[in-house]
């Protein structure tokens, strides 16, 4: 029989329950449980409330006592990363900061292709170990669910190589890993044929193997002048939906067009959106597609932030993800990025916490994480403070002292 464990008392718990999935949120909507407790059984939340009440109600449960100040949030959900890669792009970073353009860097052998070369050369064991290191770093930040994309293979074999490494990382890590196939990241330099024939090759040769080996249920594409056009992408994504995949899109990063394709294909998310204008904002807001802001890419490239404020005011669901990758977003610190985005875009604490939890879970179509309520997975984290507002205020300096994954504590510091 599974023993239930009562964890607490916590100074404050923010369950982030009963909040709307779409639109702006003011902080007075946040429900706080003071001197709270969480009762966990078989990895799920059995009850949540005042610690003393739960103690009386469930006298048979064992106690995991918290003896320090502690503010609890649901585990964060990072719905957009490229955490499986080999090699470094420090050369690109330095060249960009010295004034070279993205296209000049790509033309001189840098850019995504540099990472493709390093990733193709890595053994599966090397890729696994690097991916696990990245995932474990996220877990220490309180990120308990992490999406990881392929997209540095760009051939059937090399994409399978990445997706298998991601699956092994998922088995070996405590975090929940959701993998996405981004074989449509750019037209590989060694492919003889045009964009359309490359996408047809991926569809015919790679998708069946992904489905046979159950490597991923999600397809992503980079819609941009330097990658794939809106027209070819629309057909690719429609075929992906027909084949039973969920889809998401790298959209409106430098030029618009991608977000309209995302909405039209019923994409779970449209990610980036730095270039989105009012028309795109209203279109996304009227749809079910989650808008994912990636402040780490804006900070890595020196580009504007996604218009998160305008998206929320128009009624969109806004999630915040790290986009952790060796090129445009090498930082990989989700909370720091979210709190900087909040300052520049004027986001309330409630909007940021929602964007890091249940709204990000919606982007991954997961509906039993991201909020602390009965029946949900016991993924949560505790910060060493008396007041939840200290968390964003510290701009990433304050980190959780303990992260619970399926109710199991991982003491981090
Ligand atoms: O999300 N925009 C395209 N893809 C990545 C960058 C990948 C890379 O530069 O390696 C992104 O920013
Ligand atoms: Fe990305």
Residuewise pLDDT in 10s, the chain (413 residues): 579 999 999 999 999 999 999 999 999 999 999 999 999 999 999 999 999 999 999 999 999 999 999 999 999 999 999 999 999 999 999 999 999 987 789 888 899 999 999 999 999 999 999 999 999 999 999 999 999 999 999 999 999 999 999 999 999 999 999 999 999 999 999 999 999 999 999 999 999 999 999 999 999 999 999 899 999 999 999 999 999 999 999 999 999 999 999 999 999 999 999 999 999 999 999 999 999 999 999 999 999 999 999 999 999 999 999 999 999 999 999 999 999 999 999 999 999 999 999 999 999 999 999 999 999 999 999 999 999 999 999 999 999 999 999 999 997 66
CB 81 less than 6 A from any atom of ligand 1: no
- Two structure tokens written together for 207: 């998708």
C-alpha to C-alpha distance for 281 and 344, rounded to whole angstroms: 18
Task: Of 228, 204, 207, give the one whose Cα is nearest residue 216.
Answer: 207
CB 298 less than 6 A from any atom of ligand 1: no
Backbone angles phi, psi at 161, to 5 degrees: -55, -50
CB 147 less than 6 A from any atom of ligand 1: no
C-alpha to C-alpha distance for 15 and 8, rounded to whole angstroms: 14
What's residue 387's pLDDT? 98
Atom of ligand 1 minimally distant from the CA of 92: 9
The ligand with the least distance to the CA atom of 296 is: 1
Atom of ligand 1 minimally distant from the CA of 112: 10
Residue 253 Cα to ligand 1 midpoint, Å, equals 10
CB 253 less than 6 A from any atom of ligand 1: yes
Largest CA distance in the chain: 70
Using a CB cutoff of 5 Å, list residues around ligand 2, an ion: 323
CB 24 less than 6 A from any atom of ligand 1: no
Q: Which residues contact 348 (CB under 8 A, 6 or more apart)?
A: 24, 25, 26, 27, 342
| Cβ proximity of 318 and 25 under 8 Å | no
What's residue 98's pLDDT? 96
What's the start-to-end Cα distance of the chain, in Å?
32
Atom of ligand 1 minimally distant from the CA of 253: 2
| Cβ proximity of 25 and 19 under 8 Å | yes
What's residue 108's pLDDT? 85
| Cβ proximity of 394 and 71 under 8 Å | no
Q: Which residues contact 404 (CB under 8 A, 6 or more apart)?
A: 7, 40, 75, 378, 379, 380, 381, 410
C-alpha to C-alpha distance for 286 and 396, rounded to whole angstroms: 33
pTM (two decimals) = 0.98
Residue 318 Cα to ligand 1 midpoint, Å, equals 20
Residue nearest to atom 6 of ligand 1 (CA): 328
């Amino acid at each position: 029989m599974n023993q239930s464990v009562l964890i607490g008392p916590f100074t404050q718990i923010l369950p982030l329950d009963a909040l709307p999935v779409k639109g702006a949120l003011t902080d007075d909507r946040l429900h706080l449980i003071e001197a709270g407790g969480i009762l966990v059984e078989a990895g799920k939340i059995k009850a949540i409330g005042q610690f003393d009440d739960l103690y009386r109600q469930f006298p048979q449960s064992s106690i995991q006592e918290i003896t320090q100040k502690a503010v609890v949030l649901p585990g964060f959900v990072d719905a957009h990363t490229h955490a499986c890669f080999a090699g470094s792009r420090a050369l690109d970073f330095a060249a960009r900061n010295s004034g070279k353009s993205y296209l000049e860097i790509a033309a001189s052998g840098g850019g995504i292709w540099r990472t493709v070369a390093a990733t193709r050369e890595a053994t599966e064991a090397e890729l696994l170990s690097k991916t696990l290191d990245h995932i474990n770093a996220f877990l220490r930040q309180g990120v308990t669910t992490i999406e990881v994309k392929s997209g540095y293979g760009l051939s059937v074999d090399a994409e399978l190589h990445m997706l298998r490494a991601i699956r092994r990382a998922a088995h070996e890590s405590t975090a929940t890993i959701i993998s996405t196939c981004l074989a449509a990241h750019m037209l590989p330099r060694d492919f003889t044929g045009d964009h359309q024939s490359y996408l047809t090759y991926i569809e015919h040769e790679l998708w069946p193997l992904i489905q046979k080996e159950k490597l991923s249920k999600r397809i992503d594409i980079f819609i941009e002048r330097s990658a794939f056009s809106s027209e070819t992408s629309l057909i690719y994504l429609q075929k992906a939906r027909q084949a039973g995949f969920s889809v998401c899109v790298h959209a409106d990063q430098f030029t618009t067009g991608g977000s309209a394709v995302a909405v039209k294909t019923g994409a779970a998310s449209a990610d980036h959106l730095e270039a989105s204008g009012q028309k795109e904002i209203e279109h996304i807001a009227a749809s079910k597609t989650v808008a994912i802001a990636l402040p780490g890419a804006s900070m890595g490239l020196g580009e504007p932030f996604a218009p998160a404020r305008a998206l929320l005011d128009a009624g969109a669901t806004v999630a915040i993800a790290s986009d952790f990758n060796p090129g445009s977003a090498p930082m990989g610190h989700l909370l720091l990025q979210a709190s900087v985005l909040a300052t520049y875009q004027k986001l309330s604490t409630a909007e940021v916490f929602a964007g890091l939890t249940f709204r990000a879970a919606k982007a991954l179509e997961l509906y039993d994480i991201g909020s602390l309520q009965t029946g949900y997975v016991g993924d949560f984290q505790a910060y060493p403070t008396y007041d939840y507002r200290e968390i964003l205020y510290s701009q990433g300096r304050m980190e959780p002292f303990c992260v619970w994954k399926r109710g199991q504590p991982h003491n981090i510091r």
